[in-house]
Amino acid sequence: MIKVVLATRNAHKMDEIRQILDEVPVEITSLAELDIEVDVTEDGDTYTANALKKAWAAARATGLAAISDDSGLEVDALQGAPGIMSSRFAGENATDEENNLLLLSMLEGVPEGERGARFVCAAVLVLPQAPPGEDEITCNGQWRGRIGLRPCGSHGFGYDPLFIIPDEDATVAELGEAYKRRNSHRAKAFLALAKHREAFD
């Protein structure tokens, strides 16, 4: 079993990824638990590029293998926005509420049938001791839905109160954390990553 550092200080994301990888033989710590600050400018032009930047920064700071992800919401009616700018949609230090309000304002007047969207996630594992070409593993996941007319539900974070799962006719924030752990874009990406079991042995 290897020890890896999760390259985030976001407590919500940390809990979610730990639960997704619960059955994988890996010991996960975090930058917050190690009390390490890593300053990374997420200026990549893809989710994978940003995830790799964060993972390599954490690996260099700790000497450990590192896992990270970058994810975003892509709205059809906005030609894929906010995309990689999802967490900073309303500004560099925007709150979830501010991002959600901006999204709703930009979709004002767009009918329910044209509010399709997807969550996208790139999950990565970097192995600083491995030879070049074998030191990065990347996987992707996505989750289709639509954007509601108003926030609903009190579970989850980010755009969860707006993202409706059509088969459930409810938002992710209404469906709860257990449902999200089984079905989300992040779950799909990290479970695909976990299939590379040799990297975690």
Separation of alpha carbons 125 and 64, rounded Å: 11
Find, among 13, 17, 70, 66, the residue nearest to 41 by Cα: 70
Whether 70 is catalytic is yes
Which is the catalytic residue, given 69, 70, 96, 160? Answer: 70
In angstroms, the Cα distances linking 200 to 51, 93, 149 are: 18, 35, 42
Structure tokens at 13: 């994301």
Going by their DSSP bridges, the two strands 26-30 and 2-6 should be labelled as parallel
**Residue 189, φ and ψ in degrees, nearest 5:** -70, -45
* Residues taking part in catalysis: 70
